[in-house]
Amino acid sequence: MKNSTQERIGVIGGGLGGLAAACTLAARGYQVVLLERNEWLGGKAAQLEGDGFRFDMGPTIVTIPSVLRRIFHEAGRRMEDYLDMVRLDPQWRCFFDDGSVLNLMQDPETMASTLEEFSPGTNSGRRYQDFMAYSRRLNDISQRHFFYKPIGGLRDMFDFKTSFDPKILGDVLAMRMGRSVAGTVRSFTPDSRVAQMMDHFTQYVGSSPYGSPAVLCGIAHMQTDEGIWYPMGGTRAVPVALEKLARELGVEIHTGVQVTKIQTQGDRVTGVITNLGNEIPLGAVVSNCDSVRTHRELISGPVGAKFEHRRNYEAACSGVVLYLGLKKRYDHLVHHDFVFSRDPHEEFESIYKKGEPAPDPTCYLAATTCSETATAPEGGEALYVLVHTPYLRPHHDWNKMLPAYRDVILKKLKTTGQMPDLEDRIVFERTLTPQDIQDRYQVLNGAIYGLASHGTFLGAFKPGNRSPDLRGLYLAGGAAHPGPGMPMVLMSGWIAADTLDQDGVVEAGQTSAIDSERDRSELTPA
């Protein structure tokens, strides 16, 4: 085995996808250096603390824990030895504009019985079970053709040489290409409130159910099959656990180091240049940066132009987050709650078509003391409130827009959310706007979820994890396959690492102590 610095793999960005890639590669024997521009690892999985309150700043739950478990398994470790997680059931509590309340239960049969009581005489229970059976079919298709593979489009998903195979044709037909999530959901349920709840499975990917492909209905089964989990210590515990694993595996981690350019020679990656002015030779690179910005800012030139010409990618939505420390908690909230808009069509039209904040928004809430009392002073609540907004437009000035929109959000919580005295209970408050998200995380147009999943034919497809233009360049994160959301981002990192390994572009080996010292010196100012 070679022991040169050229044999190292660089991971750009220490978010969840980058950490997943670094851990997987290191577990397989590669020399890995991870470079993160911020002083912390984990990207959006950060925390905010103040006056005895603790908030997750970004993701608030773990779904499909098997993805995370796979990463630890690569290293012969047990996820459970690094993380303590509790199952949440009901998964959501839903508050509707007409005053009704509905719990989303994990077990489909229990949920069917709940719906029969919630919407009597509509056969909603049986129709929900039919929807979940369809969702299970879509998940099975995803497991066979979509997950854990470096998919970049429909041709990568199916081998059309075998397209006359009845099973393949059946899978293609089951995807209902050309139909939307919203249309599919409404074909299964007659109750508009239940449809609104089911629409919001797609909110994990930050896209409109009216513009997203029907195949995303498979998210419902993924959630009910493996459950929703809360890591004790908050979702921040996930990157903390992955960082611990990475260091145990010998990953060289540098924070406060920003990659400014990916170096190339001919059609392959040769290294990176950092903000410190140093050139670091590398055998391959996994970029956990936004895939569009990776090509636009770190590569540019003909390769960057070819990427952008290949498809016109649209940023997903952004959001406003209110971190509200309450002196007294609300007993009618569960850990995760949705306070729904009066008119979902109007809401999604505003956000995704008009590019303006919804006048009557849906609010997602995380009331974490339901599971972990340590997140707030005794009797209080660390209330996380997320409202989806359009990605940043040139005319958006959130310094001016925030005060008025905060009032809109609080009014919604006080009425539909049944919290009339909310403002009296607030003793701590911080906010995060789309502009803050862009500045803090360097994402495309302040988008929380990377790229939108719009387009009823191709909306599920993101840039593939293996660059078709540069040998040795691999992509991870919410703006790469399989897309946004904590489990998918983790999966993207694993896929990028696995694909790199299968391609054989770098030899695995161990770095000598002398090499290690030399490697560290490359990251000090020239």
Residue 333 within a domain: no
- The pLDDT tens digits for 138-171 are 999 888 888 999 987 666 666 555 555 666 656 6
Among the listed residues 145, 15, 75, 10, the one whose alpha carbon sits nearest the alpha carbon of residue 492: 15
What pLDDT sits at residue 240?
A: 98
**96 found inside a domain:** no
Rounded Cα gap, residues 43 and 247, in angstroms? 17
The whole-number pLDDT of residue 75 equals 97
Residue that terminates a domain, selected from 191, 209, 230: 230
**Are 300 and 222 found together in one domain?**
no
254 and 173 part of one domain: no
- Structural domain ending residue among the three candidates 230, 260, 295: 230
Instruction: Note the pLDDT tens digit of each residue in 67-77.
Output: 999 999 999 99
Instruction: Please name which of 476, 417, 341, 394 lies closest in space to residue 17, comparing C-alpha atoms.
Output: 476
- Note whether 272 and 213 are same-domain residues: no
* 275 and 219 inside one domain: no
Per-residue b/e over 413-425, b at no fewer than 16 CB within 10 Å? beebbebeebeeb
H/E/C letters for each residue in 307-325?
Answer: HHHHCCCCECCEEEEEEEE
| Other CB atoms within 10 Å distance of the CB of residue 81 | 10
The CATH number covering residue 285 comes to: 3.50.50.60
- For the chain, residues with pLDDT lower than 50 are 1-6, 511-521, 524-526
CA nearest to 91, candidates 376, 466, 467, 366: 366
Question: Is there a domain that residue 475 lies in?
Answer: yes
Do residue 209 and residue 193 come from a single domain? yes
Supply the pLDDT for residue 30.
97
The pLDDT mean for the chain works out to: 91
As for how many domains the chain has, the answer is 2
- Residues 246, 193, single domain; the answer is no
Give the residue from 422, 411, 431 showing the smallest Cα distance to 342.
411
Classify residue 294: in a domain, yes or no: yes
C-beta separation of 505 from 6 below 8 A: no
End position of a domain, from candidates 208, 230, 252: 230
**pLDDT of amino acid 204:** 78
Q: Which domain holds residue 160?
A: 109-230
Could you tell me if residue 161 is inside a domain? yes
